[in-house]
Amino acid sequence: MAAKELVEILLQVSEKSAKIARAWRCQEELFELMVEEKAEKEKNERFVRDFKTLADVLVQEVVKHDVSLKFPELRDHILGEESNIFKNSFGQEIRIEVREDSESTSRHLTTVLCGNEIAARLLAELIHTDIVLETEEIKVMEEQLDFELPLNELGIWIDPIDSTSEYLKNSPGKEVDGIVVSGLPCATVLIGVFHLETGVPVAGVINQPFSTLIQENTTSRRWNGRRLWGVNHAGHACYSLGNKRKSNKASTDTQISSTFKVTISGSESENVKETLMSSGIRLFPSSGAGNKLLHVIDDNVDFYVLSSAFSFKWDTCAAHAILCSMGGGVVGYKEALLLKSTTKEIDKISFDKCELKYNKPDDGIAKKWSNSSGLIAFKSHQRVFELLECFGS
């Protein structure tokens, strides 16, 4: 199967997911599902108590449905964070599904949403919308993705809405030195493809539904999204980064800084932070694994460092594939430090053995499907070797 066909359907379902995410924020009937109390402090009876689960499951099932429809052989190898069993506000456990047409899906979602027919219809219409990619986007894929992928050997990881907490807050985004650290731009749709036998990442699509806020007039504004992809397989490495988000901070740098920038989790250990800062490294605590990985892809930072098992396969697979297509990668934090401490001189071949894998859990350590040894995401092998020197022997 041509690589273009797979990437195209993944971009389409990611955009459908992004449209659902934007609609949920912007359309009143859907927005009410996210708000427990109305402005006048009256209890909102339409509030969905576990909105995060509902949003994640719905988007996840949309991706599964559309990809399986196009490629039935992938149906049993599409994995995600959530079960598709959802308990609604009436306490009913319902298996969320995408039905054969908009009307059937609307009836099904009406039950999920405890009788809210308007919201169910709006969602069903979005779910069954045909997505047409931009002409230039198609042209880039036709030029670069003229090779085959072994569809029967591939699996998919989905993170439907990464950084849901920032998505719920509805903040336009906070920047520190031009780097987005919180707010709606941190929310991403992540779809990663991996090889079932080897576990290596093969392709990735990231959709940033809230990439750029457009102020249309004094009272109206809307969000534009961004789509990017990368493929790395059998000697083929290609990618497209879409329209990068413009920073509010104008750059005055005339050359590449010699000081590393590292994005980290807000809960990163004090020991790791002190080690990095003592080497003159600038730290940027940020929300969302997808957002942090996107900062590495976009060269906003040099690395994403996470020393603990607080990320999962669905968080990293998509960006990992894109980074590999750009000559970088994502390695286990503990494995990389162990290699550094036991090897006189690290080379790319030995370092690549530390790359994260996606086909099986990490030896039952920590939570299932977590990246149990942490991670370091990077674009340059030379620079990541320099980073490891900061950790001593």
Catalytic residue numbers, as ranges:
56, 81, 159, 161-162, 164, 315
Q: Distance of CA 75 to CAs 64, 66, 170, Å?
A: 7, 10, 34
**Closest C-alpha to 240, from 268, 205, 209:** 205
Helices (H), 38-134: 51-70, 102-112, 117-127
Q: Which helix (H) or strand (E) holds 320?
A: helix 313-325
Name 223's bridge partners: 213
Q: Tell me if 161 is assigned to a ligand binding site.
A: yes
Q: Tell me if 81 is assigned to a ligand binding site.
A: yes
- Return the SS3 of 31: helix
Across 205-214, b (16+ Cβ under 10 Å) vs e yields: bbbbbbbbee
- Return the SS3 of 353: coil
> Residues 306, 333: contact at Cβ < 8 Å?
yes
Angle between helices 51-70 and 117-127 (to 10 degrees): 30
> Residues 73, 152: contact at Cβ < 8 Å?
yes
Alpha carbon distance 18, 59 (integer Å): 9
- Locus of tokens 């079960």: 83
Q: Tell me if 130 is assigned to a ligand binding site.
A: no
Q: Tell me if 253 is assigned to a ligand binding site.
A: no
> Residues 318, 206: contact at Cβ < 8 Å?
yes
Taking the chain, what is the end-to-end CA distance rounded to the nearest angstrom? Answer: 47
Alpha carbon distance 12, 207 (integer Å): 10
Alpha carbon distance 359, 154 (integer Å): 10
Which DSSP letter does residue 152 get?
G
Q: Is the dihedral of CA 342, 348, 349, 353 positive or negative?
A: positive
Alpha carbon distance 261, 336 (integer Å): 19
Q: Tell me if 28 is assigned to a ligand binding site.
A: no
Residues 6+ apart with CB under 8 A from 289: 162, 163, 306, 311, 315, 316
Binding site feature residues: 81, 159, 161-162, 315
Binding site feature residues for Mg(2+): 81, 159, 161-162, 315
